[in-house]
Structures are given as structure tokens and as C-alpha cells.
Structure 1
Amino acid sequence: MKQLIAIAVLGSILMSCENKSDSKMALNYPETHKVDTVDTYFDTAVPDPYRWLEDDRSAETEAWVGAQNEVTFSFLDNIPYREALKNRLEELWNYEKLGTPFKEGAFTYFYKNDGLQNQSVLYRRVGEGSAEVFLDPNTFSEDGTTSLAGLSFSKDGSLAAYSISEGGSDWRKIIVMHAERMEILEDTLVDIKFSGISWKGQEGFYYSSYDKPEGSELSAKTDQHKVYYHRIGTPQSEDELIFGGTPEEKHRYVGASVSEDDRFLSISARNTTAGNKLYLQDLSTPGAPLIPVLDHEDSRSYIIENVGSKLYIVTNLEAPNQRIVTVDAANPEPEHWVDFIPETENVLSPSTGGGYFFAEYMVDALSKVLQYDYEGTLVREVTLPGMGSAGGFGGKKDQKEIYFSFTNYKTPGSSYKYNVETGDYEVYWKPEIDFDPNQYESHQVFYPSADGTKIPMMITYKKGLEFNGKNPTILYGYGGFNVSLTPSFSTVNAIWLEQGGVYAVPNLRGGGEYGKEWHNAGTKTSKQNVFDDFIAAAEYLIQESYTSPEYLAIRGGSNGGLLVGAVMTQRPDLMQVALPAVGVLDMLRYHTFTSGAGWSYDYGTAEDSDEMFQYLKGYSPLHNIKEGVAYPATLITTGDHDDRVVPAHSFKFAATLQEKHKGSEPVLIRIETNAGHGAGTPIHKTIEQYADIFGFTLYNMGFESLPNKAVFKDFKE
């Protein structure tokens, strides 16, 4: 039966759509059949003719995926410089990458990738001795699609628990091993999702999971998250339920954390991606209850540190840009909180290490770092290597040296060893990559959005660029979930810059660059602000002659895929190429899949009210594709194992766009098999994907050959 369906669907490639004589390559899309599914929201009927594509387990959906990939890769195979882009990506990527070290027990651990290894390898050494492999994820599966997703050591470093992801799925397995002997100790723990691993001494650890959903593991709804305690040497079936599981009060996301001194267990419980309840248990007192610190979800709060019973809490309660407060664990409620590092005009992201607090601030999306002692006294401002993004500054209390990283859009990330007492630091590792950042420049501009709000944007390009409106440009955005886009070097973007491309990243509302108020300004019935900010960014780039609509591509993934889908349907005239990746594209049904209901803080749901339904329907990319409109050349990308944003979003969007699109530009979907939302993707798959994305983009901007062939050692088209 499966073969018959595949033959029928593939055969329709030859007969469904007319050839477009004015297109760069003639395309015949697979014919996607329709069903008579109609949903009614507040007396409004909404057809969903491609609902059958939501069934990720059906042979028919599998055949459709194969048919679409057949058309897509036939197109991509004919781009004359696609292989050259792939080869150049491999050249750029092929340099040693070294992670900052961390100490566990008698060993110092660090991650290293020789260059093109699909997954980085975890090594360890004693003192200055020779390094040995501790975990090599490249051996987890033959095709490199099983990745190391998490790692946690017991307090003395003698035991380790690590989680793995298979095929990019958010579902995890946890494996426990004796770290010193590198021996697996017990049966693998299974069916774990959205979980950390937090040890209590050497006896066991806390983790989180959902009940196994009914139906498809990859798409069925999961909304009852729980915290368990696993005692080493006992079967998973005997794990103790610590929090969650009561039908009268569900929590979609819960997590547990044990303090460094093993004194306290804290539990965060939330139903959306913003705000959490906070609970505390004194593990030093047998039978101590789990008490509420915060019994509402009006803020995002967590315990970052403690000294005895004195707790240090990071919170945005009554502080949209975050602050750190102190309180005694005996009376931890907000009425007893005392400011430790007060809120400022810039967003705070703190860490601890070496007996100090490091307060990293975003100043117009650029890093500034201040060092404080445990009394709240400012020690110094850390002089960073330049303007960009700093990260790290973490470690155990007794460390005298800790590490941090620094990068920006044109500078590959380097790591530095920092002396916490003197503030001096030195380069620990600097990459040797075949890319000269001195040939490029990156600067920040501020432009007005539709309502006059000033939006910052970083623009990066090769020095000497002529502003003639003909530069191939990628405008990348996200704009949601309090996520901040700060400057960071990307090997894949380096090849774009080499080809004379412009790379522009605006900090849209909905993100976290200016705190909670900036985030809220891009949520629910204010979501259009995000799209307006992105549209205004495109208009600025065109007005200033960086590019023009014929040379502009818009790109984003996940919530950024929604951004691209909304903007390309609202303003198809504004860009030549649209690149929505793993996007949230059906805004009426997103909350019915996996943990999607937890995104309602940002989006609202179609079931909330008629007003919310009408607003969502008004911008939902799937529901705003119009008959007879010429849309930009579009390459939709997704993974068949994406259980974060299920691929049905992309499937239905592609089918509808192919049906209604009038123009001659190609509308394709590239579906990566045995891949998820992106995390843990093997390097070889990443390189292939970006060669396709950049090749598709340049080709549909009219480039018959690559703009800059000089960077290729053995160029062939």
C-alpha cells in the first residue's frame, strides 16, 4: 500500500502544475489532495484542507515528503555553484574548536572538535597530563544523528549522568556511568523531555518528564510535566515523584535544581514560556516540606546562589530588566526580599564563579560585565576585548581562574582565562580559521518602526562595499519569547559575507534586549509590532541602498519562521527570497501539538476569545496566503523528527503556497529526514543544508555564477 501511494504522489509531479516558461527552472509540484475538514471558532468556519498532513505516522504523509523532496532536490541539484558552496563551507568549518575547560573531581574536562566531526568529543585530563576521550557522541550512531544533549556530574565528580537525543528529538534518554572507571552503571532511563539533571550528593539526581502521550510521540500534546528523583542502583520504575502529576493543577514545564552545597532543592513550575512559580525545600532537614517562594507566574525568578540559609534570587518581579535580591530561606517570600544588585536601565543576566557575581548587561544588545563580591560591592568592570557578546564567567566557588568567551558578527569566538582576584585575563583559545575579520565591518544603526519606535540593527559586510542597491542581503530576525539576538560569529554566515553579501540583524520587539516591557510589546494582540519592525528594517536597508527588493532575502527559524511567513504574506513585494525554517505557521492550531500550548503567553490561542481568534487568523501565515498573488522564491526547511514545532506547520504551508502562488518563482520545501528542531544536527547535514539555502538564495537573486570566486581553491561551476 505504501509503495502504491508513493507512486501515485510522485507521478503527480509530472501532471499537476504548468511549466513556468519565465522561471529559472521549470517546476511541477506534487499534487496535494484536499480533505473536507472545517473547524469552527466563535461561529466562524475555517477550512483546513491539508489536515491529513498532520499525521506524521501515515504512509501517505511519508510519500508526500518523498515527493516534495524529489522536486526540491531536483531544483537544487541544478544550481551551478551549489557544490562549490558546499566545498567552501567544509573548508571554513574545518578548523579545531575547543570548549572552555571545567573541573569535576580530579579531572579537567573539555570539548573538542577536530574540524568536521559531526559531534564534538568530550575529553579529560588530570593536571597537565595527556588527554583521553571521555565521551565521543560520534560513536552513538552510524549517521551521527544521535547527539549528546546534556551532562551532569555528582558533587564529588565520581559519577556522571548524560542525556542523548536521537534524530534531533526533544525526547531524551539518560545514561548513568562511573566517571572514574568510565563504566555504565545501570539501565538507561527513557521517555525524558525538557529536563536538566541535578545531583543530590552521589546518591541520585532529579530530572523532569511527561507521561508518554497518546498517539504520535512526535506531535501529540504533552502538558503534564513532572519532577522525579532517581536513586542510583534502583530501576526507573521506582523513581520518586517529587512534584507535579495532580490533575487539579497542571504545569507544562517544571525543573529542579540542587544548590552547590547540597542544602536546598528549588523547583520552577510554569505553564507558559514566561513566568514561573518557585518552590524551596531544605534538604538538610529530613522530611522538610516543599514551600512556595512565589505562588504565581507573574515573574521569572530563580535561585542563583546561597551562603548557608541566605538565598540570592534573580527576578524580574517589579523589575522588568531583572535584579538580584537576598532573603533568608526561613522566610523566602517577596515581602522579605532585599535588593542585592538593583535593577538598572539595562537587562541583567548574571552568573557566579570563583566566589564572585558577574553581572552581564545588554547595552543596546552589546555586552557589559561588572564583577561584584558576595556583599554586593562592585569590584570592577571587566574590560572586554571589543564590542560584541561575552559569555561564561561561571565556575565553582573555590576556583581562582574562570573562563569567558567573546565574539561578534565578524569575529570568530575566542575563549579567555580570567583571574577573579586581579581581573587580568589571557587568551585561552583562539580559532585558526580561513577567514580574515579585518576585511569586514559591523556597525549598529537605529531605524524607526511603523509607530515610531526606534529599533537597533547590526549590519555586517565587506569593507569597501558599494551601496548601489545590488548587494545580496539576508535580513535575519526572531522577535519573541524574550530571546535576545546578540552579536555572534557564524561559520555559515562567513561564506555569505565572502560573497559580498550583507547580513543584517534587527533587535525586534518581542525579544528580551530591553527587558520585559520590550518582550510584552511583541506579544498577543501586539504581535504585529514584530512584523512591522522587520518590515521597517527591510525598508531601511532598501532606502539606504544596501540592497533592493530584487536582492533581499528574509530568514528566521521557529518563532522566526513565523516572522518570515507573516512578513512574506503581508509584503510579498518587499523581498526576492523567503527562507522560513521550522516555523510556527498555523496560528490556529499550534497549541494542540506537543508542548505548544506553553507558547500562549506570546501568542494567545484561538480558543481564548473571538478577539484573539480574529487577531491570530489575521496574521497566521497559513491562513493569509491569497489566491493569485506572486510570492517570493521560497525555500521552507524543516525536519521530519521536529517535535518542538511539528513539521505539519511547514507541510501545510508549503502545500497551500504551491496551490495558490501565481508567480514564476519556485516554492519549495526541503525536509531533512531523521532530524529535529536543530539542536544536535550533524555537521555534514548542516553544511549540506546551508549550501542549499545560500545556493537557492543567490540563484533566485539572478546570480548565474558566484559573485566572489577568489576564495575558492579549486573553483568549478
Structure 2
Amino acid sequence: MRSDTAGGGTPRYPDAERLALVEERHGLAVRDPYRWLEDGADPRTGAWLSAQEELYAASRPAWRAERWHRRLASLHAVDLHSPPVTRGGRSFFSRRPAGGEHPRLMVASHGRDRPLVDPAELDPAGLTVLDTWRPSVEGDLLAYQLSSNGTEESRLWVMDTATGRVLDGPIDRVRRSAVAWLPGGTHFYYVRRLPPGPHPGEERYHRRVFLHRVGSHPDEDIMIFGEGRDGAQFYTVSLTADGRWLSVVATQGTDRDTEVWLADLTAGPWHAPALRPVQEGVRGHTRLCIPPGAGAGSAIWLRTTRGAPYGRVMTATPSTAGGGWRELIAERPGSVLTDFAVLTGARLPRPLGLASWVRHAVSEITVHDLTDGTQVGTVPLPGAGSAGGLVVSREGGHEAWFSYSDHLTPWTVLHYDGRTGVTRPWRRRPSAVVTAGARTRHVAFRSADGTTVRMFVLSPEGRPDRPRPAVLTGYGGFGAPVVPAYSPEALAWVRAGGVWAVACLRGGGEEGEEWHHAGRGAHKQNVFDDFAAAADHLVEAGWTGRDRLGIMGGSNGGLLVGAAITQHPEKYAAAVCMSPLLDMARYELHGLGPSWRPEYGSADEAGGLRTLLAYSPYHHVRAGTAYPPVLFTVAETDTRVDPLHARKMCAALQHASPGPGPVLLRHERDVGHGERALSRTVALQADCLAFLAAHLGLRI
């Protein structure tokens, strides 16, 4: 096995045995020559991976990644906060100071900030991350969850916020569980997986909602919901601040349609709540908004896409929530309702509703009189950017907080006062980041079937002045909108003289649920057609040339890149494929694959397998095809998308491509799919940009 570089810059790739493995499924012949690379514990896989690491290490010095590293580090050096969560006179928020490796959880009371959970102190190696947290109603206790080594397998602890003393935990098998505290802090509801054993191979599934008493062993917890239901369902649980109204929301895997139940805890014991269906067995994403002190006949609000794919706000009472809904804020075709919050309190003449919308990926927040839904104003935003989730006090009040960002503005927290209508920065700290040298254009183009698709293009001049080295990226899946947000990668590239384009593809949520459904399941090819059309537009409009256009994407966006280079290899001069899905015939067998069936379909069904094989990148690698240079990046402990996808695809491309390449694999240990230390993020981004720059002709 050799991992050196042959003369003329053509790599000599590590040996990889090709199996004559063909399975017949639903009458289709499914080839899988690199099945053995699925087993990370196989010594052959280990030897192949070591050789790939040697090849990558030998190739990297020519890219001058250190220059990109310095620029990215300076652009990441911003002070970041989350919106505050207020409980019992205390404000809880996360903060990552400029240059810090991880966000740490802070509490503010009596004008003083104090750290509560600092991952860097808990783990100086930087391999532990704070996944999520939730203070008790009174603010004297804190439930927080940590995971290590990139596994995202959270464990839950309970802390006394005054002393920092740990009172409970760890509770395992929670994986970012929602926590709903009962008043008094003695109990909370949460979501936990069943122990492994009865369902081999399904250890990441079979969730249940439990009631936990602080200080007790988790094996004593009382199951209140989930028994007998589908093992791939996800649950969230919430409780009003007064402890009266308990709600449970279920989704089938990553499907956006929800089922919702509500229980009045004054009508029965905590350990056996009488959960009644609010929405069950119908299409629609629904969330409840119940004000503090609500009685059985009080008004509550429902943000829903049921009967309204762009979203609307309905009103009901807890006693009529199962069916007696009345429209309060109507659907606005072209604008997607993404969040809704209620402001109440003695300082307001009437309850106000804040509705957050996205129109062609740009945010707007409207203000409504909740007596009749009339719009009475808007929340001013700094620009054409993105507004994060709305946060209000659970006890009621006239204040709201939310995050804001755009392509040139790091995430900042804004405070809105419902009495005055004024929006101001919250805890603003001056940023040393210089974002000059980049301008944004919002452009539209037509896809293969005539559908209008939009794209953000960042460039030095804000117009296509000459063909520049360009990077095109996108996502197109799970109803997730691609919205304007601060990106050190994009700014570093543009300030070096390049163009950075972000396409808002079907399958995402930029244009509502119909846009999502137009790019999933049997319609997945629309996503790839949109991406190819975006590439064509960048070339035809003069932003770039074919020999200067690179593509990049991660996770579902990695699938997008894999499909792009196998369907249209001639369109791209380089590609970076990060933590990707690539073998769609077997995606359900690994990682969190079973939960993605609503998005992709299932290979267990004849029609589903045909659809998946029609675009599965691994199955469309053709020998003798001149593929562009490709860099795969994987994280060894990724529990969402197994690195086997990139291993198999890398071997297939290395075997097939006659061109100079290279096809390389960047393999990283002790990190996963999600959060990581900032230094690890900067290192990954620097290597990716350096690879693209080396093959697209961008000098820094």
C-alpha cells in the first residue's frame, strides 16, 4: 500500500479491495464494492484509513492553510451571547468570549455576572461541550447537559445555582432532552431513551417522557408518555411557569408534522397526567403558546402550518384546544411564520403577539394586538438579516429578546420593549472584527423546471465585475431555511478576492412547507437541479468561470455535493464534501438514519429504493470519468452521519477518476457532527478553504 504522491502531481492512492458484491433488492441489482469499509473496527479499514491520513498530510503543505487559519481566527474573534432566560430575578445566558474555545453558562443577579458551567474548566482538553440547559421556575436550580468527544450523547446534572454544588446526576441516555421543571424544583419532566438490550442496533431510539425527582436514582423515574409508540419518535415536553399546563409534542423522526397533547395538572397527579390530544394524525407543524395563569377557559395560541403551509396563528382555550381553533393571525403567502411569542403584564394596555417571519430567507418581526390579531407595528431590525428565536419571560412581561445576524454582522442579542416599541442591543460589546471588503446581493434565477430559486452572493464589489474564484454552497433539506448569517469562511474568502454564494434550494424552509415537500422523498432531484442551475447562473452572469467554481456542503449538504459531482462533474473545478450521506441504499442502517425516512424515503420499499438509487452518489461513480478534485472531511465519533459514507465514496472516486485529482480524506478524531472547540472549527475551515483556493486559483 502506497500513500505518496506520484510524479506530475497525480496521487498514488492507497490500495482498496473492490468486492464483486451485488445484492438483489426489489428486483434491482445494487452494487457495493466497498462494503468492508463500513466496519470501522476492521483492521483492513484501519490500515486503509491510516494510509489516507498519510496521503492527506503529504498533500496539505502545498495549500498554505496557515494563512487561512490566521485570517479565520481573527474573524471568529467575536464575543457571542445567547438571549437571556429569566427565572426568579436571575438571568441565565451562554457567553463565548472572543478567543474562547467554548461557550460557558452564566448567571446574572444583583448586577453581577457569574459563571455556572464552564466546559473549559471541566475538561482542559476541550473535548467536552455544553449541549443544553434549563433553570428551574424559581431560578435556584439548573439542569444542564454535557457530552464529550463529539458523541452528542448528553448526560444530565442538576446544580444549586447559588453554590454551584451538584445535587443530582449524571443521568445518561438523554441526548439534548427538553426539561420541564415543576414549581418548587423537586421534580421535572424530561425525555430519556430506554436502556439497550431489547432492541439491538436501535440504542439511539425508543424515547420516553419521564418524571424525575431530584436526588433520586433515574431508574426510579416514572414513565408518563411514549409506551407502545413508534421507536423512532422524538418528544419534547414543556410546562407553564405555574405548573398547570403540561404539553408533549411528538414528531416521527425528523418529519416536521407534529402530534400535540395537553394535560391540566390540577386535574390529576403529576405522575399520571391525563394528556388529551390537541393534534393527532394530521399534517401540520403545531406549537402551543400558553400564557402564565391561564385557566381552562383562557385564551391560548397555536402557531401552526395545519391548513396553512406558510404558517398562521390560531387561538383556542385549553378546554377546546382539541378542535375549537379560531384564526387570529392569517397566513401571509410568501412569508413563512417561524416563531410566535406573547407579551403580557400590567405595563401593557393589552396582550401583544410577536410574530417572526422569513420572506425569501430574510427576517421580519410583526407586532399584533391579541384581542383581534390586528398588526399594530413591527420590531425594527438592523438590516436584511436573520432573527433568532423569540425569548420572553415565562412569568409574563413587556420584554422580549432575540438574536440577530446578517452576512456582515456577528450574532448579537437585541432587546425589544413592548411599551415603547424600541429595539436596542443587549449587553453589546464592541467587536474587533472588520467586515469591510464584502457586499451582498440577493439574486434570483430559474431551475430546470422553471421554478424561481434565490441565492445570496457575497463579493468584493457587490456585482459580477469579472470571473473570480467562487464557492457555491447550499443545504436543501429537512425544511431548514438557509438564511443570512455571519460566516467567517465567507468573509475570509471574499476579502481574499473571491465570490461566495449561498443557494436557497427546494427541500429547505425558505419558502414554506410546500417548498420543503418539493425537495424531499420522490422530489429530491429538484434540490440537485436547483443547485446545478445556481452554478450555471454564477457562470452565465459573470461572477465566475467553470474553471474557478468550487462547491462545498456538509451533512445533507454533503449529499448535495456528492450528487453534484456525480451528476455534473464538468460543472465544478473542486469540491469539499463534509460529514456526508452518500450511500443512500444503506443510509437507514447507520447513525440516525432511521429517523430520516420521512425526508428521504426507505430502501425497504421498492419505490423508495428506486428513488434513492436514482441519485445515490456512491452508486453513480463511473470509472473513467474526470471528476474534480474532492476533499472529504469526517469526524470519527459522528453519531448522526457515520463516516463510512465518506470512506466508501472516497475509495470509489479514487478508483474511478483518471484525472490529476486529488481525492483526499481528512479524518478527525475526538469530535463529532455538532459543536466542537473553536480551535478545531478554525482548523477545519482553514483546511477546506485552503484546498479550494489551491484548485480555484485564489491567492491569499
* TM tier, smaller: over 0.9
Distance apart, 1:494 and its partner CA: 1.6
Indicate yes or no: 2:134 matched with 1:136: no
How far apart are 1:685 and its partner, in Å?
0.5
**Selected match of 1:565 from 547, 562, 566:** 562
Which among 387, 391, 399 is matched to residue 384 of structure 2?
387
Identify the residue that residue 205 of structure 1 maps to in structure 2: 188
What is the CA-CA distance between 1:468 and the residue it aligns to? 2.2
1:323 is aligned, of 305, 309, 312, to 312
Q: Equivalent of 1:293, from 264, 278, 299? A: 278
8 Å contact kept, 1:479–1:560: yes
Q: Does 1:284 align with 2:266?
A: yes
Q: What amino acid maps onto 2:600 in structure 1?
A: Y
CA contact 1:165–1:680 (8 Å) conserved in 2: no
Q: Give yes or no for contact 1:408–1:489 (8 Å, CA) kept in 2.
A: yes
The CA distance in 2 between the partners of 1:348 and 1:650, in whole Å, is 36
Distance 1:519 1:297, change over 3 A: same
Q: CA deviation at 1:214?
A: 6.2
In the alignment, what sits opposite 2:349? none
Q: Find the counterpart in structure 2 of residue 258 from structure 1.
A: 239
2:489 aligned to which of 465, 486, 492 = 492
**2: distance between equivalents of 1:69 and 1:542?**
34
Match of 2:399 in 1: 401
Name the CA distance, whole Å, in 2 between partners of 1:207 and 1:428. 31
Which residue in the other structure is 1:582 paired with? 579
Q: Deviations 1:456-491 (Å, cap 9, x if unpaired)?
A: 11111112766322x111111001111101101112
**Counterpart pick for 1:482 among 468, 479, 494:** 479
The reply to whether residue 634 of structure 1 matches residue 630 of structure 2 is: yes
| CA distance 1:636–1:596, shift in 2 (3 Å) | same
- In structure 1, the residue matched to 2:353 is 357
CA contact (8 A) 2:408 2:435 kept: yes
- 1:351-406 Cα distance to aligned partner (Å, 9 max, x none): 32542321111111111110124323433112222211122432115343332332
Supply the distance in 2 between the matched residues of 1:324 and 1:666 (Cα, whole angstroms): 52
After TM superposition, list the pairs within 5 Å mapping 1:185-584 onto structure 2: 185-201=167-183, 202-213=185-196, 222-246=204-228, 249-274=230-255, 275-287=257-269, 288-306=273-291, 307-309=294-296, 310-334=299-323, 336-345=324-333, 346-352=335-341, 354-355=343-344, 356-375=352-371, 376-396=373-393, 397-430=395-428, 432-463=430-461, 467-469=465-467, 471-584=468-581
Higher mean displacement: 585-594 or 441-450: 585-594
Alpha-carbon distance between aligned partners in 1 of 2:198 and 2:662, rounded to the nearest angstrom: 35
1:32 equivalent to 2:29? Answer: no
Shift of 1:320: 0.6
User: 2-side partners of 1:138 and 1:407: how far apart?
Assistant: 26
Structure 1 Cα separation of the partners of residues 625 and 215 of structure 2? 63
- Paired residue for 1:103? 86
CA displacement, residues 276-299 of structure 1 (integer Å, 9 cap, x when unaligned)? 221122112124422222221522
* 1:665 matched residue in structure 2: 661
**Which residue does the alignment assign to 1:648?**
644
| Counterpart contact for 2:196–2:203, Cα < 8 Å | yes
Please state how far the C-alpha of 1:670 moved relative to its aligned partner: 0.8
Q: Deviation digits for residues 484-510 of structure 1, max 9, x if unmatched?
A: 011011123221111111111111111
Q: Deviations over 1:178-204 (max 9, x none)?
A: 112211012310122252222122122
Aligned partner letter, 2:287: Y
Please say if residues 477 and 520 of structure 2, whose CA atoms lie closer than 8 Å, have aligned partners that are also in contact: yes
- TM-score normalised by length of structure 2: 0.93
Which sections of structure 2, spanning at least 5 residues, go unmatched? Answer: 345-351
Aligned-CA RMSD value: 2.2
How far did residue 646 of structure 1 move?
1.2
Q: Distance in 2 between matches of 1:212 and 1:550?
A: 53
Indicate the residue corresponding to 1:86 in structure 2: 69
Once the two structures are TM-superposed, the CA of residue 528 in structure 1 deviates from its matched residue by: 0.7
Task: Encode CA deviations 1:499-529: one digit per residue, 9 max, x unaligned.
Answer: 1111111111111111111111111111111
Q: Is 1:122 paired with 2:120?
A: no
1:592 aligns with 2:589: yes
CA distance in 1, matches of 2:103, 2:33: 43
Amino acid at match of 2:28: T
Q: How far apart, CA to CA, are the structure 1 residues paired with 2:89 and 2:203? A: 44
Q: Is the 8 A contact 1:413 1:430 kept in 2?
A: no
Give the 3-state SS of the residue equivalent to 1:439 in structure 2: coil
User: Deviation string for 1:614-659 (max 9, x for gaps)?
Assistant: 2211110110011111111111111111111111111111111111
Q: C-alpha displacement at 1:21, in angstroms?
A: 4.0
Give the TM-score of the pair, scaled to structure 1.
Answer: 0.91
1:711 paired residue number: none
Displacement of 1:35 after TM fit? 4.3
Give the whole-Å Cα distance in 1 for the aligned partners of 2:72 and 2:656.
35
Change (3 A) 1:350 1:93: closer
- Specify the SS of the correspondent of 2:365: strand
Aligned residues: 681
Q: Residue 204 of structure 1 contacts residue 229 of structure 1 at CA under 8 Å; is this kept in 2?
A: yes
Kindly state the Cα deviation for residue 431 of structure 1 after the two structures are TM-superposed: 5.6
Contact 1:244 1:251 in 2 (8 A): no
Deviation (angstroms), 1:27:
2.0
8 A contact 1:579–1:634 mirrored in 2: yes
Which deviates more, 236-245 or 527-536?
Answer: 236-245
User: CA shift at 1:433, angstroms?
Assistant: 4.1
CA 1:28–1:235 in 2, change beyond 3 Å: closer, same or farther?
Answer: same
* AA in 2 matched with 1:127: H
| Counterparts in 2 of 1:536 and 1:642: CA distance versus 1, 3 Å | same
Give CA-to-partner distance per residue, 1:115-161, whole Å, 9 cap, x none: 222101222232323x2221111123232121000000111111111
Residue aligned with 1:694, SS: helix
